[in-house]
Chains A and B, each alone.
Chain A
Amino acid sequence: MSSYPEKFVYTKEHEWVNAQDGIATVGITDHAQHELGDIVYVDLPKVGSRVEQGKTFGSVESVKAVSDIYAPVSGEVAEVNDSLTTTPEKLNEDPHGAAWLIKVRMSAPDEIKKLLSAADYQSYVGAES
C-alpha cells in the first residue's frame, strides 16, 4: 500500500498539489498511476498558459487508455516537467516526486482548502477500489 505525503492535498480525480509560497506543484497520485498501468505519453500545457480549477489541462496515455488531468488549482503555468515527454515511465516510478507535471502560480490560493487531505484521499481511494 502506498503512502500519501501529509503535506500534499488531493483531488477526487487523483491529482496531488504541493503548495508553497504561492506556487503549486501538481502531479498525479500513486493510485492513479497504478490504475492507469504503464504510462507511455504525457501531454502538458505550455509555460504561461492558464489553468482553471476543475478543468482539464493535459492528459496521460497508458497502454490501456488516455485520461484527462484536471487542474486542482487556478493560475498560470510557471514551469513544466519536460523530462516526462522522453521518459513517461517516471510517472510510474516516482509519481509523488520526480514526476511532478506542472508548477502553477496560483491566482486563488484559497482554492486548495476545497481539496482533500492525505487521510481523506486515502480513505476515498480505499472506498473506490
Chain B
Amino acid sequence: MIRKVRQHISQNEALLFEETSPGKAGYQLPELDVPSVDPQAALGAPNVRVEIEGFPEVSEVEAIRHFTRLSTWNYAIDLGLYPLGSCTMKYNPRVNEFVARLDGLAWAHPYQPESLSQGALEIIAELESALLEITGMDAITLQPAAGAHGEFTGILLVRAYLESQGNPRKKILVPDSAHGTNPATASMAGYSVQNIKSNAKGMMDVSSLARLLDEDTNNEIAALMVTNPSTLGIFEEDIAKVAEILHAKGAMLYMDGANMNALVGLTRPGDFGVDVMHLNLHKTFSTPHGGGGPGGGPVAVKKHLEPFLPIPRLKRVNEAWTFDYKFPQSIGRVRAFYGNFGVLVRALAYILAHGGNGLKNATIDALMNANYIRRKLEPYYDLPYDSPSMHEVVFSDDRQSKQGVRTGDLAKRLIDYGFHPYTVSFPTIVHGAIMIEPTETESKRELDLFIDAMISIAKEIEKDPKFVLQAPYLTRTSRVDEVTAARRPIVRWRPQRTSSQAAD
C-alpha cells in the first residue's frame, strides 16, 4: 500500500522560451542622462552581440512562478529519504548554511590581504587539523574541487614521490568493485590500469594480490586504489595486510574516501596503512552536492608524500597565518586560490556542530540504518554477498528478474511510493544491483515507510509483474524513452517552426 504520498494538483509548465512576449521586461530604466555611445565603436564590433535569438522576454513574476512551479515537480533530500545516500548527497544541516552566510565569510575576497583574512585562514587551518585527526594522516591539502580531482591530485603525488625515488613505475591496480573514476584517474596520470577481481566475500583477494606483487619483478606496480568500504558496502577486512604487501614492494595504497561516512570516528585510514586518500566534503561532511557543486576533495597523505603536496600551504608565523609557497618538490597548484572556500566553511561547521562523539554517533546511526534495512528486506530480495554491511547494502534483482522485472523497473515503481529511486545497476559486479544507502539522518518512521514500499513492490511483482513494468503511474510523465535520449540527444531547444530541423 502507498502510504507516503497521495496525488495532488501541480501546474503544467511551458518552457520559458515559449512564454515570451516581445518587449516585455522585469525592469524599468531611467531616461538616459549621459551622451549615447555606439557600443560597436566603443568596444569593437566583434565584442558586441547584435541579436540574441529567441531570448525569453518575461516579467519578474512570470520568471519567479516558472521556476517555483518547476521546483514543485522535484524530489529532494528536504522532502524525504534519498536512498542514494551520502555517495550522492546526504542531508545538509542548516547550521552549515547559517555559518557560510555570515557576512565576513560570504563576502570575503581571495585577494584580501592576509592580515584581513586571518579568520578565513584560521577556518582552513582548523578544518585541516580536524580532517587529519579523523583520517589519521599526517598532512593535507584542501585545494581539490571534488573527488575525482582529489584522486588525480593524489595519484600525481604518488607519481612525484616515486619519481623522486628514481622510478615512477607503470601500473595501478584497481579492484573490479571500484568507482569508475579510479581507473580514469590512473590513466589520466599516465599509468596503465590492472583490474583485480573480488572474491566470494566481495573483498579483495589477499593471496592473489600477493601473487601479483611477487610476479612484479620489475617493480611496475605504483599503487593500489581501493574504496573502503567498497562499493558493495563491505569493509576490506584484510586492508592492513594489503597495505603491508604493497609497502614491502615500495608500492602505495590509495584510498578513495567516497564511503568515509562508514568510518568517521570508528577507524582511521592512516592507522590501517593508507598512504594517500581523498575525502569528499560534499558526501561525508554534508556540504551540498546538488546542482553540480561546488564540491571539496581534500587529499590527505602520510609524511613521505608531504613535500609534494600542492602549494600554497598554510603556515603559522608570528602568531598569524600565512601562505607558504616554498616547497620545491610540490606538484604545484591544482586549483585557484585555496579550494572552494564556502564548502570548507560548511564542512567545518558540520564537524564542530557534531563534535567527536557526535560524528561517531552519526557513523553508528548510518551503519545501523543500513543494517536495519538489510535485515527487513533480506526475506524479499537476494543478497549476493552476505559479508557484514557497513553504511549501505547491495541487493540484486535475481528473484524479481525471473518475473521479468529488473532493478530499473523496480526503481521506477518506487517513485510511485514517494521515494527517490536507489542506486540502480551499480556496482556493476552485482547482476541487477539494488544499492541502498539511507545515511544516519533518517528516522525509524521514514525507514519503515521505505521498507514497506520495497516489500509491497516485491509482492506486486509476485502477483502481477506486468503492472510493475508499466510504472510509474503517479508521476507527470511515465516511462520516458531513455534509449533514444541517449542515442540521439537533442540538447538545444529551438522554436516550433524549426523543430523539424532540430530533429535532423
Contacts and interface: CB of A to CB of B under 8 A. Distances in A.
Interface of A: 35, 38, 40-41, 55-56, 61, 63-67, 88-89, 129
B336 interface: no
Contact of A88 (B193, B408, B431, B487): B487
B483 A38 contact: yes
Interface size bracket, B side: 10 to 19
Interface of B: 180, 192-193, 408, 424-426, 428, 431, 482-483, 486-487
Contact of A65 (B193, B428, B487): B428
A65 B426 contact: yes
Contact of B483 (A63, A65, A66, A67): A63
A100 to B, nearest CB: 19
Contacts of B408: 63-64
Nearest to B180: A66
A67 B408 CA distance: 18
* Max chain A Cβ within 10 angstroms of own Cβ: one of B408, B428, B482: B428
Contacts of A38: 483, 486
B423 to A, nearest CB: 11
A20 B465 CA distance: 47
Contacts of B192: 55
A64 B397 CA distance: 14
B434 to A, nearest CB: 13
B428 A67 contact: yes
B329 to A, nearest CB: 32
Q: Considering the complex of A and B, which 7 residue pairs feature the smallest CB-CB distances, nearest first?
A: A40-B486, A64-B425, A38-B483, A40-B487, A65-B428, A63-B482, A63-B483
Contacts of A65: 425-426, 428
A49 to B, nearest CB: 15
A2 B487 CA distance: 25
B192 to A, nearest CB: 7
Nearest to A66: B180
20 contacts: A35-B431, A38-B483, A40-B483, A40-B487, A41-B486, A55-B192, A61-B486, A63-B408, A63-B483, A63-B486, A64-B408, A64-B424, A64-B425, A65-B425, A65-B426, A65-B428, A67-B428, A88-B487, A89-B487, A129-B431
